[in-house]
Amino acid sequence: MRNLKDKSVLVTGGGAGMGEAIVRRFVEEGARVLITDIDVERGQAVAKAIGMPFARIDTGDPVSVEAAVGAAVKVFGRLDVMVNNAGINSKVAPIHESTQENWDRVIRVNLSGVFYGMKYALQQFVPQKSGVIVSMASINGLVGCFGGPPYGAAKAGVAQLTREAAIEYAQMGIRANAVAPTAVWTPMNMKAAEESGDVQGLVDALNNLNPLPGMPSPDDIAAAIAFLASDDARFITGVTLPVDGGYTAQ
């Protein structure tokens, strides 16, 4: 990817799954990455393995997010790319059976967490008159789905926040985009499969979910994020890019 070498990048949820793949892709492209995660043990393990710094973050806590952005600036001298990747699953239930606790928990991390990431990254980007935000949306935020109303609402909110940021900051040379993956076989989805009691059944269903057979890998998602962060995408802003094997084309 063009112009990612020596860029300073903050990745939330970088300790496992898609987050770890994103971290590794940026490092392969020559970027400097601050790995952040609420799971200190996993985050530090990834950081040690690739020789990059780590900071704990709770993306649902604005104080924690502000501190993580500050840590990136302190370590690297500036911040060039903010990747709002951290997210959690929703408990499966229709709207009338959804609990307030589940709604608040999912919105706190998956939507408010992205807002905080944007807010504090932009406080660095505006004086620089440069910067790129890439956030994690989902096909669940682009089309209606069964069973996870707060998750879908949060991811739809991410897509709208992305459009808002793209318009508000374009004149300053700041870009904002998002990716919207279909189901990816990550530790989060592995846990959901185990809790369902039918791991193979869920695997088979996900492998047949999209027009393109199989599932994307975390590396596929990381490649899309690296592209959107790079100068190869210098005239792309306000886009939520599906990485979905044609799911949303149906």
Q: List, for residues 149-194, the tens digit of each pLDDT value.
A: 999 999 999 999 999 999 999 999 999 999 999 999 877 777 777 7
The position carrying tokens 């998750």 is 151
Expressed as residue numbers, the domain containing 111 is 8-181+218-243
Residue 2 falls inside a structural domain = no
**Do 66 and 188 lie in a common domain?**
no
**Do 103 and 188 lie in a common domain?**
no
Asked about 151 being catalytic, the answer comes back as yes
Spot the catalytic one: 116, 120, 151, 247: 151
Mean pLDDT of the chain: 95
**Do 119 and 208 lie in a common domain?**
no
**Predicted pLDDT at 206:** 85
Q: What is the pTM of this model?
A: 0.94
**Do 110 and 137 lie in a common domain?**
yes
Residue 222 falls inside a structural domain = yes
**Do 55 and 119 lie in a common domain?**
yes
**Do 175 and 189 lie in a common domain?**
no
